[in-house]
Amino acid sequence: MFETIKVKKESNIAVAVITRPETLNALNRQVIKDLSSLLDHVEQDHEIRALIVTGEGRAFVAGADIREQSDLDLEGGRKWGQIGAAVFRRLECLEIPTLAAINGFALGGGLELVMACDLRIAAINAKLGQPEVSLGITPGFSGTQRLPRLVGVSKAKELIFTGKMIGSVEAEKIGLVNKVVEADYLMAETIEMAKSIIKNAPLAVKYSKVAIDRGLEIDKCSGIAVENELFAMCFATEDQKEGMRAYLEKRVPQFKGK
């Protein structure tokens, strides 16, 4: 289905593995194209309720493909940045929860891909960073926008201005990743987290994601109004009736996403 991505479904969870290990899964045009096609596939398959993204081999994604970028001019750089940023924004805006299983290097465009996911689980040996300034460029796939929102302005400037790599333990400490696990347990832990999400009411999870993400882009009072409306919308769903009925009847709810 894709040239550079392998996808498998485990019940209602899709696992996408970027497969360019010979380049440490560097992002070239084909990977970006395949990521876009992956999002089409996920949006059309309504059985998928969570998406996990990871990499094959020693890296999650070690950055964008330098060979492809090295000869770009002003207009070429602008188009390349726009293409990557658009695909990552689509990933960020997926209705279902997305999780990055960071198995190794997540640098430059790789860290930007990580940050476009909702949740981030890292192997103990993972390395993360935005080293673009050492190549004479800025982060180009929205790293300057997402990193400050995750770790704060000062720490984001430190990481971007110095271009240094940090380990997964420090990344967890500053809020860049949610959890650090032993490498051998990375996928099992990530799948377990995904399962803990999809057992809940799909529409409630979807509305919660919308409320959080939209609220971060507007003032607090407007965000509260968004939450109030989404909260009210839950009461028009079958899942709300089932969830509360199951609670009162002391049984496990059977959600249908309706």
Burial 113-151 (b: 16+ CB within 10 A, else e): bbbbbbbbbbbebbbbbbbbeeeeeebbbbbbebbbebb
Q: Are 124 and 168 in contact (CB under 8 A)?
A: yes
Backbone torsions φ then ψ of 121, nearest 5 degrees: -115, 130
Task: Please identify which of the residues 68, 132, 170, 242 carries the catalytic annotation.
Answer: 132
Q: For residue 36, which of 103, 113, 101, 96 has the smallest C-alpha distance?
A: 113
Instruction: Give catalytic status of residue 170 as yes or no.
Output: no
Tell me the C-alpha to C-alpha distance, in Å, between residue 142 and each of 98, 222, 233, 252.
17, 24, 32, 41
What's the N-to-C CA distance of the chain in angstroms? 30
Q: Distance between CA 253 and CA 60 in Å, rounded?
A: 36
Q: Distance between CA 256 and CA 238 in Å, rounded?
A: 8
Task: Please identify which of the residues 68, 95, 112, 170 carries the catalytic annotation.
Answer: 112
Question: Catalytic residues, which ones?
Answer: 112, 132
